[in-house]
């Protein structure tokens, strides 16, 4: 059917959508959160940065589907500002998606009025706008999945295999964004087969080949990467099993991404360790995933009643109006943008959209119904959040608007039909508008916690304390809030208050390894030797894969003069984390102090050769939270310190050329570290390159590293350069800093 006249409704739709998105972006830009992504947003941001910085292949098979991070990395390469313009690009794609929504609605409903209403609802729907401005992948699925449906309808209408092939390609892109679309694609293809005539059904095999070749085109490079580079057969990503177990265990609430044995800040390496401990063998990522799939299935088989209750809860969460947050609470962020306060929500979309599913008749309506039901069924085995169900919103809006118009029309002349539709809407309102799952509507604890982390990173310590306090007031049992308050007090050098906060964290979370480790450091600084060791050891016992636990305990031993114990702890840590630079650095420092120069040099070289934190490949939530809080260590700076330590040691042993090479590398990696310039100045002086020595010493002073010894060294350089006047000035400055510095006094007398 071809609609008469020109259709310009899409101009109004994308115009309104564009203005609202731009308004939200500029309002969101003023928010404290704009340049400080958190949790999964931060994970995607760091992964994209890693790719943009040259680590294109990554480390091993993909843990998560890679398409969105690679897309994001491309925007990082193009634009210098990694926060504004990438989000603007995402929102522009969101505007294009509105055009696709309108086109799809027009093809399904055959009505310009209905398609206009659908387009306007999607244009102003706050959840779409909210997620398009986040470094999360779900907005991209709305675009891709809508395009799949358009191409399938077009292929059916024109009976053309080319459009079917294209829908397969887009389906493949959707799969490498989030793989749960794969079983849905099979059902969508079957719809295409049976939506056609008998001739099409006879040629289904040709259509299947073209469609699934299209699907495989984007997937094959990802699988090839995992097989060739990752040495494991992982089709797209290896996270499926862990996510399945998260959604299928006795402690699951159907919404939180919590591994019951490890809590919310679980790390992949811990999950792998538990799997290997239970199986008694080393496991590849694909085997780890299968282990957790089996673990989840065992729960279903062994506790069928509990599993049934959990699945009913997840279905309820899927149908409910409440926007379940798993990263940030959208309600909290309404204070930063009036656009998010537009009163269109799932409360309106769900009753009409889901009620319509039992009334679909037209084959195109059936296509949307298949997508909604099939996609929902791929979510329910895992867990339900607002952003995970985002791809079903467009089909629900189209079906819901069509259903509403049909219901209103039936009111005048088809009473029984109207009654059935009315009852269906009422039933869905009861399910959608109630709160039988007892979901808190204003759970802002995590949002206040994230705000505190931002203030902590900015050095606004008092504001950070207030935000953490707000998180605790919202939820007295919120984990990590007391921990981070302790970190704030630690930075303020208020060690007793830090101790109290860390102890309070242990009341909330008795198995908090970071709290024990931080207490170990605090007690060392307070002079409580036995407690420092006791709490440091406890951190490692609780979590053998808490890297900082090893580092902090070794520091405590080192600070107490127990060098052999410190080295023993570091060897254990290095055995578990052979790519961690900080462990090698401290190991090398202690060996150098003991005079074991060859071993120290080897440790520094290992630090330089290590890959550093495997936050991206291992999905280390603990490290992501550290990054979010600003307490994580910059890998470039750590590498710079390793180069500095190695260069200083080699130069001290008399190899000035090689020492200078490493010190120059350190300077590029950590240009604001004054000690590098001090060592460079000395190495250049000993090598006889006086001008370079002088420049290095002067740079150290610019960076605030002034001292009587440094001024004395500069005077020696001036003496070599035949400039006694400047030498005298520097010697006088040396004595002004420290009148008791005898080498400067003697040199000044000899010049006079």
Q: CATH number of the domain at 628, please.
A: 1.25.40.10
Contact present, 352 and 321 (Cβ < 8 Å): no
**Domain range holding 613?**
445-633
Distance, CA of 536 to CA of 540 (rounded, Å): 7
Assess contact for 126 and 342: CB atoms under 8 A: yes
Report if residue 66 sits inside a domain: no
CB atoms closer than 10 angstroms to residue 398? 32
pLDDT band at 629 (very low <50, low <70, confident <90, very high): very low
pLDDT at 664 over 60: yes
Mean pLDDT, rounded, for 458-472: 92
Share of the chain above pLDDT 70, in %: 95
Tell how far CA 514 is from the center of its chain: 20
Q: Is residue 288 part of a domain?
A: no
Per-residue pLDDT, averaged over 127-131, amounts to 95
- pLDDT of amino acid 630: 42
Domain count across the chain: 2
State residue 626's pLDDT score: 47
Single residue among 611, 633, 655 that ends a domain in this structure: 633
The 10 Å Cβ neighbour count of residue 726 is: 15
pLDDT at residue 5, as a whole number: 55
Q: Is residue 322 part of a domain?
A: no
User: For residues 541 and 516, is the Cβ–Cβ distance under 8 A?
Assistant: no
pLDDT band at 536 (very low <50, low <70, confident <90, very high): confident
Residue 393 within any structural domain of the chain = no
Cβ pair 101, 150 in contact under 8 A: no
Domain assignment present for residue 499? The answer is yes
For residue 483, tell me if it sits in a domain.
yes
The single-letter DSSP state of residue 397 is H
| Residue 82, pLDDT score | 87
End-to-end CA distance of the chain: 104
In this prediction, residue 6 carries a pLDDT of 63
The backbone torsions φ and ψ at residue 712, rounded to the nearest 5 degrees and listed phi first, read -60, -45
Percent of the chain residues past pLDDT 90, beyond the cut:
48
Q: Read off the tokens for 700.
A: 């150290």
Give the C-alpha separation, 146 to 27, whole Å.
28
pLDDT digits (tens, 9 = 90+) for 407-425: 998 888 888 888 999 999 9
Tokens at residue 318, please? 């899927």
Question: Is the model's pLDDT at 151 over the cut of 90?
Answer: yes
Question: What is the Cα–Cα distance from 623 to 545, expressed in whole angstroms?
Answer: 12
Q: Per-residue pLDDT averaged across 212-227, rounded?
A: 95
Rounded CA-CA distance 688/675 in Å is 20
* Average pLDDT of the segment spanning 226-241: 90
Alpha carbon distances (Å) from 50 to 44, 236, 497, 582, 609: 10, 19, 37, 19, 17
- Most confident option among 244-248, 369-373, 516-520, 664-668: 369-373
pLDDT at 70 over 90: yes
pLDDT of residue 618: 47
Task: Give the orientation angle of helix 581-593 with respect to helix 597-609, to 10 degrees.
Answer: 170
Long-range CB contacts (within 8 A, 24+) of 570-576: 572/540, 573/547, 576/544, 576/545, 576/550
Once rounded to an integer, what is the mean pLDDT over residues 521-547?
86
Contacts of 509 (CB under 8 A, 6+ apart): 263, 479, 480, 515
Q: Say if residue 524's pLDDT is above 90.
A: no
Residue with tokens 């609802």: 121
- Secondary structure in 3-state letters for 555-609: HHHHHCCCHHHHHHHHHHHHHHCCCCHHHHHHHHHHHHHCCCHHHHHHHHHHHHH
pLDDT tens for each residue of 93-107: 999 999 999 999 999
pLDDT tens-place string over residues 566-593: 999 999 988 888 888 888 989 999 998 9
| Weakest-pLDDT range from 526-535, 605-614, 651-660 | 605-614
Across the range 108-127, mean pLDDT stands at 95
Based on the domain organization, do 608 and 681 belong to the same domain? no
Highest mean pLDDT among 150-154, 253-257, 701-705: 150-154
Question: What average pLDDT does range 99-124 have in this prediction?
Answer: 95
What is the predicted pLDDT for the residue at 631?
A: 44
Q: Are residues 607 and 717 located together in one domain of the fold? A: no
Helix axes 268-279, 285-302, angle to 10 degrees: 70
Range among 334-348, 602-616, 734-748 rated most confident: 334-348
Q: Residue 186 — pLDDT band, cuts 50, 70, 90?
A: very high
* Mean pLDDT of the residues in the chain: 88
Indicate if the pLDDT at residue 614 is higher than 70: no
Q: Are residues 672 and 619 in the same domain?
A: no
Cβ density class 503-524: b for 16+ within 10 Å, e for less: ebbbebbeebbbbbbbbbbbbb
Both 584 and 531 in a single domain? yes
pLDDT of residue 619: 47
Examine the domain organization and report whether 464 and 592 are in the same domain. Answer: yes
Structure tokens at 546: 């808490």
| Confidence category of residue 625, pLDDT binned at 50, 70, 90 | very low
Among candidate residues 486, 443, 485, the one with its CA nearest the CA of residue 467: 485
**Coil, helix or strand for 222?**
helix
Would you say residue 184 has pLDDT above 90?
yes
3-state secondary structure of 18: helix
* Helix locations, 79-180, DSSP H: 84-109, 112-124, 126-132, 138-158, 161-175
Domain co-membership, 560 together with 704: no
Whether 491 and 601 map to the same domain: the answer is yes
Task: Note whether 597 and 713 are same-domain residues.
Answer: no
Within a domain: residue 330? no
Highest mean pLDDT out of 135-144, 433-442, 664-673: 135-144
Q: Which two tokens stand for residue 363?
A: 């084959």
Q: Do 107 and 121 form a contact (C-beta atoms < 8 A)? A: no
* Segment among 82-91, 356-365, 436-445, 717-726 with least mean pLDDT: 436-445
E-only strand ranges, 446-526:
none
Pick from 197-211, 249-263, 609-623, 684-698: least confident: 609-623
Q: Give the mean model confidence (pLDDT) for residues 628-650.
A: 75
> Cα(40)–Cα(624) distance, rounded to whole angstroms?
9
Inside any domain, residue 403: no
Residues 573 and 461 in one domain: yes
Whether residue 313 has pLDDT greater than 90: yes
618 and 688 inside one domain: no
What is the rounded CA–CA span in Å between residue 245 and residue 232?
Answer: 21
Residues 517 and 579 in one domain: yes
CA dihedral in degrees (175, 180, 184, 186; nearest 10)? 60
Q: Which two tokens stand for residue 104?
A: 């799809």
């Amino acid at each position: 059917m071809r609609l008469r006249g020109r259709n310009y409704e899409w101009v109004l739709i994308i115009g309104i959508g564009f203005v609202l998105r731009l308004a939200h972006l500029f309002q969101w830009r003023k928010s404290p959160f704009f340049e400080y992504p958190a949790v999964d947003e931060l994970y995607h941001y760091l992964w994209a940065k890693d790719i943009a910085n040259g680590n294109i292949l990554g480390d091993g098979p993909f843990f998560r589907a890679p398409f969105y991070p690679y897309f994001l990395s491309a925007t990082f390469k193009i634009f210098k500002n990694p926060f504004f313009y990438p989000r603007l690009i995402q929102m522009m794609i969101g505007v294009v998606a509105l055009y696709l929504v309108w086109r799809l609605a027009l093809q399904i409903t055959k009505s310009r009025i209905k398609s206009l209403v659908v387009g306007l609802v999607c244009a102003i729907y706050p959840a779409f706008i909210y997620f398009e401005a986040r470094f999360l992948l779900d907005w991209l699925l709305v675009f891709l999945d809508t395009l799949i449906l358009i191409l399938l309808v077009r292929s059916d209408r024109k009976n053309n295999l080319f459009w079917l092939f294209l829908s397969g390609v887009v389906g493949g892109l959707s799969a490498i964004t989030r793989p749960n679309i794969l079983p849905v694609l099979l059902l969508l293809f079957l719809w295409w087969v049976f939506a056609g005539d008998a001739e099409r059904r006879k040629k289904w095999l040709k259509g299947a080949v073209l469609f699934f070749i299209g699907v495989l085109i984007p997937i094959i490079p990802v699988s090839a990467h995992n097989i060739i580079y990752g040495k494991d057969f992982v089709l797209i990503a290896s996270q499926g099993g862990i996510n399945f177990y998260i959604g299928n265990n006795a402690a699951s609430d159907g919404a939180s991404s919590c591994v019951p044995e490890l809590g919310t800040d679980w790390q992949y390496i811990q999950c792998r360790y538990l799997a290997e401990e239970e199986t008694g063998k080393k496991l590849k990522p694909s085997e780890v995933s299968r282990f957790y799939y089996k673990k989840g299935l065992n729960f279903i088989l062994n506790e069928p009643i509990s599993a049934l209750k959990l699945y009913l809860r997840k279905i309820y969460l899927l149908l409910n109006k409440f926007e379940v947050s798993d990263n940030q609470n959208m309600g909290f962020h309404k204070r930063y943008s009036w656009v998010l306060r537009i009163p269109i929500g799932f409360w309106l979309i769900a009753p009409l959209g889901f009620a319509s599913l039992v009334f679909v008749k037209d084959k195109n309506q059936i296509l949307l119904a298949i997508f909604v039901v099939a996609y929902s069924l791929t979510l329910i085995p895992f867990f339900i959040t607002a952003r995970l169900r985002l791809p079903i919103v467009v089909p629900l809006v189209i079906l819901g608007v069509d259903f509403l118009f049909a219901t209103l029309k039936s009111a005048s002349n088809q009473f029984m039909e109207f009654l059935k539709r009315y009852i269906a809407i009422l039933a869905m309102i009861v399910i959608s508008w109630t709160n039988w799952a007892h979901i808190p509507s204003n759970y802002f604890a995590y949002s206040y916690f994230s705000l505190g982390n931002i203030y902590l990173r900015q050095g606004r310590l008092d504001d950070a304390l207030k935000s953490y306090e707000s998180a605790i007031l919202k939820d007295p049992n919120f984990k990590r809030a007391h921990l981070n308050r302790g970190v704030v007090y630690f930075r303020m050098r208020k060690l007793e208050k830090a101790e109290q906060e860390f102890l309070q964290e242990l009341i909330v979370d008795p198995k908090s390894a970071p709290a024990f480790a931080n207490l170990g450091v605090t007690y060392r600084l307070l002079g409580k030797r036995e407690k420092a060791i006791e709490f440091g050891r406890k951190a490692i016992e609780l979590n053998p894969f808490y890297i900082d636990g090893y580092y902090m305990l070794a520091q405590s031993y080192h600070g107490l003069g127990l060098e052999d114990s410190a080295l023993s702890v570091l060897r254990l840590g290095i055995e578990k984390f052979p790519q961690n630079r900080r462990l090698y650095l401290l190991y090398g420092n202690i060996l150098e102090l003991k005079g074991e120069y060859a071993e120290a040099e080897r440790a520094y070289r290992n630090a330089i050769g290590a890959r550093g934190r495997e936050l991206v490949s291992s999905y280390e939530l603990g490290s992501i939270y550290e990054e979010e809080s600003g307490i994580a260590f910059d890998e470039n700076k750590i590498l710079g310190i390793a180069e500095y330590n190695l260069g200083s040691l080699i130069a001290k042993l008399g190899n000035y050329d090689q020492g200078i090479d490493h010190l120059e590398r350190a300077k590029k990696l950590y240009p604001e570290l004054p000690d590098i310039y001090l060592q460079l100045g000395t190495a250049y002086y000993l090598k006889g390159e006086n001008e370079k020595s002088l420049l290095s010493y002067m740079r150290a002073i610019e960076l605030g590293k002034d001292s009587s010894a440094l001024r004395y060294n500069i005077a020696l350089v001036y003496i070599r350069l035949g400039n006694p006047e400047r030498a005298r000035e520097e010697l006088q400055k040396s004595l002004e800093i420290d009148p008791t510095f005898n080498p400067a006094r003697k040199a000044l007398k000899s010049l006079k």
